[in-house]
Amino acid sequence: MTTVIQDYIGPTHAIAGQPIAAVLKVFADGEFTAEALTVAVRDSAGGQLDFPSIANVQINQAGYRLTTAKQSFLPGIYTIFGAYQLNGVWRNLPSASMTISTP
């Protein structure tokens, strides 16, 4: 099975009400096509506020950089993580905190 490594995820800080794009950089020790790739977002209550995913992403040793569409968030601390879908199953990558500050 191919191993996927998350090289970068962000942002880790932003201002409430200002639309932001997430960036995810991943690479793999082999080559495969993920059915979908996204940056998932969870609020403190576990609510899903994911950035839109993209479909049919070729991930290999050279890597893949995803820059999502922009969206805005309310103030708070969120958990963000990359996730990809393979054979109908979502697989989560390591998480980070994203702090959204008041303007």
Query: Which CATH number applies to 4-101?
Result: 2.60.40.2550
How does pLDDT run across 40-60, given as a tens digit for each residue? 999 999 999 999 999 999 999
Q: How far apart are the first and last CA of the chain?
A: 45
Q: What local confidence, expressed as pLDDT, does residue 1 receive?
A: 73
Q: Domain residues of the chain, as ranges?
A: 4-101
How does pLDDT run across 47-99, given as a tens digit for each residue? 999 999 999 999 999 999 999 999 999 999 999 999 999 999 999 999 999 99
> What pTM was estimated for this model as a whole?
0.95
Sign of torsion over alpha carbons 81, 66, 10, 29: positive
